Amino acid sequence: MDCIFCKIIKKEIPSKILYEDDLVLAMLDINPMNNGHTLIIPKKHYTDIMEADDILDYMFKIAKDLTPILMDKLEVKALTYLINYGDSQQVKHLHLHLIPDYLNENKHLKDIDEVYNLLKS
């Protein structure tokens, strides 16, 4: 199967992994909308949210666990949880976006390695 997220999970493609366990992987989005834009993806291939089962609960549990870490380290006071479905879903492997919201503060996009090192420190 030619799925970029499955390849990331199998470590055939490198990624900026923030968290990983048997069920999910959380990584920085390589085309971030904001500094710290994170994706949570299930290790099992679900094409989209309509295929998903209890994994959604677990993805949101991990999202909640990551939220204070992202907010503290990025010094941000708001965060958006987002799941695309249909034509706006670019990768057809279910994923949950965690998008820090800088509330109109003028935050330029930093280098992804800089953000990664900050979050991993």
Residue 95 annotated among the catalytic residues of the structure: yes
For residue 24, the SS3 value is strand
The DSSP secondary-structure symbol of 49 reads: G
23 binds Zn ion (CB under 5 A): no
**Considering beta carbons, is residue 69 or 83 the nearer one to Zn ion?**
83
The DSSP secondary-structure symbol of 120 reads: H
For residue 7, the SS3 value is helix
118 binds Zn ion (CB under 5 A): no
49 binds Zn ion (CB under 5 A): no
Rounded least distance, CB 18 to Zn ion, Å: 19
Give the binding-site size for Zn ion (rule: CB under 5 A).
5
The DSSP secondary-structure symbol of 5 reads: H
Q: How far is CA 16 from CA 2, 21, 23, 38, 53, in A?
A: 20, 15, 17, 9, 26
User: Exactly one of 93, 95, 97, 108 is catalytic; which is it?
Assistant: 95
Span 93-112, contacts to Zn ion by CB under 5 A = 93
Among 16, 43, 44, 45, binds Zn ion (CB under 5 A): 45
Window contacting Zn ion (CB under 5 A); options: 6-14, 30-38, 53-61, 67-75 = 6-14
The secondary structure of 57-101, three-state, reads: HHHHHHHHHHHHHHHHHHCCCEEEEECCCHHHCCCCCCCEEEEEE
Which positions touch Zn ion (CB under 5 A)? 3, 5-6, 45, 93
Active site residues: 95
